[in-house]
Structure 1
């Protein structure tokens, strides 16, 4: 009886550890996608944006417009080109209040901070709330749905700081 109970406890501990490890592995893999997202803004590279999004993308902007992959990527292509020609820069960062995943799908919600023309006299910061759905396509995480909104300009630095850092995995591990 004691052996059976001990084996059951060990099995449960190993199972819980496996779930946590899978979750942490998924978060790390998803963070690689977010790294490319950051890099796309920093380098004004629309091809990186195209690479990390599914061709089946549904993009909802500000609660008032839905666009597809091609329109979304073409918007970045022209916007990044315009920024490069004007000498404008963009830096984006994300903080999270929800990160849920399994082996094939993930849902991530949080707050973004976009800084235009950092360390220049015309520097501006923009904030918004986002919800992104990822799915694995041929073993690679891709963004399949991306929704963001400034929530009637109520998202600010305070909301941004309240959310968790991109590498704060402990907060999001399953217990």
Structure 2
């Protein structure tokens, strides 16, 4: 009985430490990546957007069946955002977040809204999978894949995923 109590106490303590550390990393990823990603979209700041990605970025667009380097990927946003005053915002919800202290894999659903609050408001949805790496203490996107899955990702898909601040769901 004494060994069982010790075992249960140890298990509880270790799992609490792991969950605590996991939540700390997720909070840092939210701050380093997802909050800044949203800010870059809302302000059309392609430099900020570029800074969120590793220099070794591999960008895969499932719908367009293209693989891009960081340079070409960010150049596309520079051209798009410099020549387009369209207001936009992007939101993320998650299906899975697997991380350790220096790398992570996150899958989820994004919702891109353009012309918010106007008659021309439109929503676009996609499923994403990013591989993250901590570089010099900052989380960066190393691999970024997204797809609309033949336009099957929608508002329902988005709502059914977990909010990025719902850290205990992972």
TM-score norm. by structure 1 comes to: 0.91
Unpaired runs of 5+ in structure 2? none
The alpha-carbon deviation at position 170 of structure 1 amounts to 1.4
Aligned to 2:59: 59
* Pair 1:41-2:41 in alignment: yes
Structure 2 Cα separation of the partners of residues 125 and 68 of structure 1: 27
Deviation at 1:11, TM superposition (A): 2.7
Instruction: Give me the CA root mean square deviation.
Output: 1.4
CA positional deviation for 1:94: 0.6
> 1:25 is matched with which residue?
24
Structure 1 position 6, deviation (Å):
4.4
Q: Secondary structure at the match of 1:24?
A: helix
Q: Which residue of the partner structure matches residue 144 of structure 2?
A: 146
Q: Tell me the SS of whatever aligns to 1:70.
A: helix
Q: Within 5 A, what are the aligned runs for 1:4-153?
A: 6-32=5-31, 33-63=33-63, 64-83=65-84, 87-153=85-151
The alignment status of 1:164 with 2:165, answered yes or no, reads: no
Secondary structure of the corresponding residue to residue 110 of structure 1: strand
Aligned to 2:151, the other structure's residue is in SS state: coil
CA-CA distance at 1:136 after TM superposition: 0.7
- State the shift of 1:20 in Å: 0.3
1:13 & 1:120 partners in 2: Cα distance? 51
Relative to structure 2, which stretch is displaced further, 13-22 or 140-149? 13-22
The unaligned stretches of length 5 or more in structure 1 are none
Encode CA deviations 1:148-167: one digit per residue, 9 max, x unaligned: 00000111111111111111
